[in-house]
Amino acid sequence: MAGGGCRDRIRRARSVASGGQAIGARLGRFAMRKRQAALRYLAMGFVSGLTGYVLFCVHLVAIVVGLSLPAVVPQVRRLTNAERRRAGEFLGTRIDQAYRPVTGGLSQRIGVILADSATWRDLAWLGVNGCYSMVAMALSVGLTASALLAFVVPVEHAFFPEIVSGLQIDGIHMETPMGAWVAIPLGLLNGAIGWTISPWLARTEARLARWLLAPTPTALLARRVDELATSRAETVDSRAAELRHPR
């Protein structure tokens, strides 16, 4: 009986241990997917930031010139709408847009665009994201990639010493054998930092997009008023047509 009870306890302990290992493996895979998603988001944000920075400069020129503004704004809004979808998917929420309808002649369209607060929020996002995405990319992808490059330094020092001539990592010269081997723990440390902060950097970038690109309560109210005015005008026109052409 004692032997059987002991074997039961051993089986239960093994079962608990295997269950813990399975949970740990699942948590590890989840963390890996989370960080991979963050790195992908930051990489796409870098591309979006470069594009946005160009549009930011073009947008400023268009505001000064005025006449080219209706041609530039649709391109900016196409980019910001794509960013709303991307940030919303990453955060698990929906980010709406509330642009005022751009109609009428050239001067009227320019006036509507300049009076729309969403135009200026888009412009702010272009400038902020253009700077932030580059810094976040350098911190996350750059630090993570340094972990891989660190293993190359000792090999380069042994076979191609001229390549590492003058190279420094965190202020340590890589020209000496000791410096070349020190590159490995330094690279691993940098990679661990980049790997750890990547999700935080990606969330911050997405939250910045939500903060700047989500419509304000005033913009939502203005859009609702415009929709009601358009609906009322269509109803009046329809009623007038019925009066002019009775059945």
Q: Where are the domains of the chain?
A: 35-212
The CA distance from 129 to 206, in Å, is 10
- Helix ranges (H only) for 66-171 are 69-91, 106-115, 117-137, 143-150, 152-159
In this prediction, residue 200 carries a pLDDT of 92
Taking the C-alpha atoms of residue 111 and residue 164, their distance in angstroms, rounded to an integer, is: 58
pLDDT at 229: 63
As averages over each run of 10 residues, the pLDDT of the chain (247 residues) reads 56 54 53 79 89 85 75 89 93 87 83 87 91 88 76 64 57 60 74 86 93 81 66 60 59
At residue 243, the pLDDT reads 58
pLDDT of res. 113: 86
| The pLDDT value given to residue 1 | 47
Distance between CA atoms of 152 and 150, rounded to whole angstroms? Answer: 5
pLDDT for the residue 9: 59
* 74 Cβ contact partners less than 8 Å away, ≥ 6 residues apart: none
- Predicted confidence at residue 85, as pLDDT, reads 93
Q: Which tokens sit at 23?
A: 């949970």
Q: What is the pLDDT of residue 213?
A: 92
0.75 cut: is pTM over it?
Answer: no
